Chains A and B, each alone.
Chain A
Amino acid sequence: MTTGSVDLFVVDDGGALRGYDCRDVVRVEEVAGEPGGYLVRLGRLGSPREVACREVHGSVALSAGEIRPVPEALRERITGEKPWAVGLAGRELYLLY
């Protein structure tokens, strides 16, 4: 039985749903002149970084049982920032960064 869980801040980057640890979110800014564009500033838990996204979906709680490793076949085909896990909640899949 697992008891761990994580609260995700979920955004749509235009291709996929990305989830970030809510505790890491510093600020969310609407990008001026770009309807639907947001900039998420992260770094409360680690080094500062920014993520541009199209939509903010809000927060989702995932239990440890809903978290899966990233398939190796996918991991080695991603350039740039790689997700650390994939969240499965109902019909939705979240890439966790």
Chain B
Amino acid sequence: MESRGGISPLDEARGELLREASIEAEAAGREKAQEESGPARSLLVFFLGAEGFAVDLAHVRKVLRPDRIARVSGAAPEVLGIMNCQGEVLCVLDLRRILSSGKEAAPPAATEGKFIVVLRHGGKEAGFLVDTVRDVAELPASSVHPVLDSIEPSRARLFEGTVACGGQFVGLLSPSACLNP
């Protein structure tokens, strides 16, 4: 049986459960944060479609609007091109394609109205195209949960863990894994 929009009642119920679980986990995280004096993590939260992601703010150099991106022949499919970023050359990568582990043969992403999150780790830097940037969340380090089992291994390597944020679970990306092919 399917409801409008092709989502089954079971999926709806699961979605609702996950929403509730994330709200509870978030509230627990806040309580924990108040109790703990341990280090907090500042995370930048952004979206690709309806799916939320986070990355440690310590690795975020800047967030930009895409400018003219020059294509590069012979580059991997996730490379959208290079951009002049205040006099420096920035390699812009399609995060959606990286997360799909090359399984999607989608055309290069349109950049209009989107954002580029510039990450730096281990001396390496690149910009990642994302749909929307939401906010910065302050969470205790202990509120990072393991990567969900349901995520396939090739994709799981891109994550440090899962955090509850703004009423939903979002994947905490590993900057190192995202920057290295």
A residues adjacent to B (C-beta < 8 A): 13-18, 68-74, 76-81, 86, 88, 91-93, 95
The answer to whether residues A73 and B73 also contact, given A86-B82, A93-B84 and a CB cut-off of 8 A, is no
Q: Which of A13, A18, A72, A91 lies in contact with B68, CB distance below 8 A?
A: A91
Q: How far is the CA of A81 from the CA of B124 in the complex (A)?
A: 21
How far does the Cβ of A18 sit from chain B's closest Cβ, in whole Å? 8
How far does the Cβ of A83 sit from chain B's closest Cβ, in whole Å? 8
* A70 x B89 contact (CB < 8 A): yes
* A93 x B89 contact (CB < 8 A): yes
Tally chain B residues at the interface, Cβ within 8 Å: 27
Q: How far is the CA of A81 from the CA of B75 in the complex (A)?
A: 10
* B93 x A78 contact (CB < 8 A): no
By Cβ-Cβ distance, the 6 closest A-B pairs, closest first, are A73-B126, A74-B91, A15-B73, A77-B76, A71-B91, A93-B70
Q: How far is the CA of A56 from the CA of B31 in the complex (A)?
A: 64
Secondary structure of the B side of the interface? strand
Q: Does B113 contact A (CB under 8 A)?
A: no
Q: Does B64 contact A (CB under 8 A)?
A: no
Contacts of B71 in A (CB 8 A): 15-16
B residues adjacent to A (C-beta < 8 A): 68, 70-76, 78-79, 81-84, 87-91, 93, 123-126, 179-181
How far does the Cβ of A22 sit from chain B's closest Cβ, in whole Å? 21
Contacts of B78 in A (CB 8 A): 77
Q: Which of A77, A79, A88 lies in contact with B84, CB distance below 8 A?
A: A88
How far does the Cβ of B43 sit from chain A's closest Cβ, in whole Å? 22
* B89 x A77 contact (CB < 8 A): no
* A73 x B68 contact (CB < 8 A): no
Q: How far is the CA of A18 from the CA of B82 in the complex (A)?
A: 13
Q: How far is the CA of A92 from the CA of B84 in the complex (A)?
A: 9
Q: How far is the CA of A70 from the CA of B78 in the complex (A)?
A: 17
Contacts of A78 in B (CB 8 A): 72, 74-76, 79
Q: How far is the CA of A17 from the CA of B68 in the complex (A)?
A: 13
Contacts of A18 in B (CB 8 A): 73
A to B CB contacts below 8 Å, 19 in the list: A15-B72, A16-B73, A16-B81, A17-B70, A68-B88, A69-B89, A71-B90, A72-B124, A73-B91, A73-B93, A73-B126, A73-B179, A74-B72, A76-B180, A77-B79, A79-B74, A80-B74, A86-B82, A93-B70
